[in-house]
Structure 1
Amino acid sequence: MANYTAADIKALREKTGAGMLDVKKALDEANGDAEKAHEIIRVKGLKGIAKREGRSTSEGIIATDVRPGDGGQVGTMVEINCETDFVAKSGPFIEIADKAVAYAAEHGIATPEELLNSEFGQTFTDATAPLGEKIVIRRIAAVTGENVEVYLHRTAKDLPPQVGVLVATDAAGAEVAHDVAMHIAAYSPKFLSRDEVPTETVEDERRIAEETAKNEGKPEGALPKIVEGRMNGFFKENCLLDQGFARDPKQSVGSIVEASGGNVTGFARFRVGA
């Protein structure tokens, strides 16, 4: 039976700003001794952690992991956010990001919640608490394919990667995978192909295109052609294979991939804070 009360928990939380669970663990470890528990919280860097919850986390890092998988490779990518670029480029922060993506890859973890609720969660808390900032695992993505290409881009040379891309291709597509990954980093497509755009999104865009054309006073008979033209523009802006290739905008990414004899089967793109 715990030899401390709810009032003891409340008092220690108010004194340290630590979270409820951390306060209870410290009191358990200290056998109810409030001063000893306070010392434990300070040593573990948990003091003030609850007060960080409302802070903004617009800095951070993108970490990736590629390893063998069924039929080829599996690529995993994690975005972890913090408050300042000072922490973002610190060794402990970069190290815990690398450990987070490796753990997610090894255990097939798909969401931040799942990662934090795993055995890794306590490791993450212990490693990030001393950094003195709110640290958030924002999102996780994974792609699989015969080949998985990684591209990481630094927006500032003294910061860790702020943009990360994973591209999955078949074996033949590996030839152009790096160039495609760089294109994705720059042009941020939302979908791989027209077939992947949700039906409701297509319907909404078509409706908007038609209403816009009507409001512009376009002739009724010309509406179908105008709407199709604007839908093609939507696909060229948002679908990877329809976009003009970064190195040669006169050709689409799809045509570049097709010329290699390969296929792109999936991709993921993260930008810190976006």
Structure 2
Amino acid sequence: MAAISAAQVKELRLKTDAPMMECKKALTEAEGDMAKAEEILRVKLGNKASKAAARIAAEGVVVVYVSHDRKLGAILEVNSETDFVAKNPEFLKMAHDSVKLVAEKNPATVEELLALPLDGTTVDGVRTGLVGKIGENMTFRRFQRIEAKGELSHYVHGSRIGVIVDLVGGDHELAHDIAMHIAASKPKAIDETGIDPALIDSERRIAIEKAREAGKPEQMLERIAEGSVKKFLKEVTLVNQPFVKDDKKTINDLLKAAKAEVATYVLYVVGEGLEKKSNDFAAEVAAQAAAAKQA
């Protein structure tokens, strides 16, 4: 049996918010497989075990650019080490200038974006200059460019959550409402066809194991699992979610009434999937003291 390290236990705890001993037991049962261990915890602890997975860990901003004719847009995430730098005017200018370059120059990768001309140097030159001036690392993490099939709208919540939506039909008010809804409800896809089959399989397995542990008859397990999967798909697909401004209507109801459809959308949350560096203050002091003795 593979040995379970403290780092693995810590990683699973950060993902699930489950007690340390439960994390260790789950990892042992899963023989070190992180994804399987997370499933085991969800069976034992319910959805509570996955709440921490969406916690924002890194600092930075999400910025959006939409052209005047609403036909071209881009969304970009730039990370910093602290929230203080994320509010710095020069950092924000760099991010806004860069997202416009994404839309206009269409770089294929972050490396290509960093090589584009900006302010007499390159995007990376501006970034490097700010790193030297402020003394804190900054990284360009990800971006996406959209050429609209309909018209683009966007919503940015506090610079940490950004959404850009391509709506075919309807009007700008509806597009903005849907962008705001996406920021609040964080759907995983427009409809069921956009959901990763692996996620559906995982939900089905979890439902079966929970039903089995609850003592349900074996012949009922598949039916129970199908019900759970349907509920899951309603919760995570945009068109099936209750509208945040009026939960008596779904997004699909709004779209049908306006004879509109969402062609695509992009949702970025700052630091999603990243873990903020955790400084051990005591260890840092001890290291400084040791260095002072050797000097």
Instruction: Provide the TM-score with structure 2 as the length reference.
Output: 0.65
Return the letter of the residue paired with 1:210. Answer: I
Q: How far apart are 1:166 and its partner, in Å?
A: 0.6
Structure-1 residue corresponding to 2:138: 135
CA contact (8 A) 1:142 1:268 kept: no
2:59 corresponding residue in structure 1 = 59
Indicate if the aligned counterparts of 1:236 and 1:244 stay in contact, CA closer than 8 A: no
Higher Cα Rg: structure 1 or 2? 1
Matched residues in 2 for 1:263 and 1:198: separation?
A: 21
**Where does residue 149 of structure 1 map in the other structure?**
153
Which amino acid counterpart does residue 208 of structure 2 have in structure 1?
E
2-structure distance, mates of 1:92, 1:175: 32
Query: Contact conserved, 2:127 with 2:138, CA < 8 A, in 1?
Result: no
Q: Are the counterparts in 2 of residues 104 and 115 from structure 1 also a CA contact under 8 Å?
A: yes
d(CA) in 2 for partners of 1:109, 1:216: 53
> Is the CA contact (8 Å cut-off) linking 1:173 and 1:261 kept in structure 2?
no
- State the TM-score, normalized to the length of structure 1: 0.69
Deviation at 1:117, TM superposition (A): 4.2
Q: Distance in 2 between matches of 1:109 and 1:82?
A: 22
- Shift in Å at residue 175 of structure 1? 4.5
Do the aligned partners of 2:102 and 2:145 also contact (CA within 8 Å) in 1? no
1:181-223 deviation per Cα after TM superposition (whole angstroms, max 9, x unaligned): 1111111112111011122322232232223222222223333
Aligned to 1:5: none
- Amino acid corresponding to residue 58 of structure 2 in structure 1: S
Cα distance change of structure 1 residues 141 and 116 upon mapping to structure 2, 3 Å threshold: same
Rounded to whole Å, the distance in 2 between the matches of 1:73 and 1:234 is: 33
Q: How does 1:109-124 map to 2 (within 5 A)?
A: 109-119=107-117, 120-124=123-127
Please state if 1:96 is matched with 2:94.
yes
Aligned-pair CA distance for 1:137: 0.9
The whole-number CA distance in structure 2 between the counterparts of 1:110 and 1:244 is: 36
* SS in structure 2 at match of 1:191: coil
Deviation for aligned residue 1:61: 1.6
Query: Which shifted more, 118-127 or 215-224?
Result: 118-127
Q: Identify the residue that residue 252 of structure 1 maps to in structure 2.
A: 250
Residue equivalent to 2:37: none
Q: Give the RMSD, CA atoms, in angstroms.
A: 2.2
Deviation at 1:118, TM superposition (A): 4.3
Q: Is the 8 A contact 1:110 1:142 kept in 2?
A: no
Which residue number corresponds to residue 83 of structure 1? 81
> Contact 2:169–2:259 (CA<8 Å) still a contact in 1?
no
* Identical aligned residues as a percent: 35
Q: Tell me how far apart the structure 2 counterparts of residues 194 and 244 of structure 1 sit (CA, whole Å).
A: 16
Match of 1:270, SS? strand
Secondary structure of 2:71's match? strand
| 1:87-117 residue CA offsets vs partner (Å, 9 max, x unmatched) | 2222211111111111111121254233224
Give per-residue Cα distances to partners, 1:138-175, cap 9 Å, x unaligned.
21123332111110111xxxxxx221111111133644
Please give the alpha-carbon distance, in whole angstroms, between the structure 2 residues aligned to 1:256 and 1:173: 11
1:41-84: CA deviation from partner (whole Å, max 9, x where unpaired): xxxxxxxxxxxxxxxx8322221111279xx7122111111122
Counterpart residue identity of residue 59, structure 1: E
| Cα distance, 1:123 vs structure 2 | 3.6
Pair 1:182–1:199, CA change in 2 (3 A): same
Say whether the 8 Å CA contact 1:143–1:167 is kept in structure 2: no
Structure number with higher helix proportion? 2
For residues 214 and 145 of structure 2, what CA distance do their matches in structure 1 show? Answer: 43
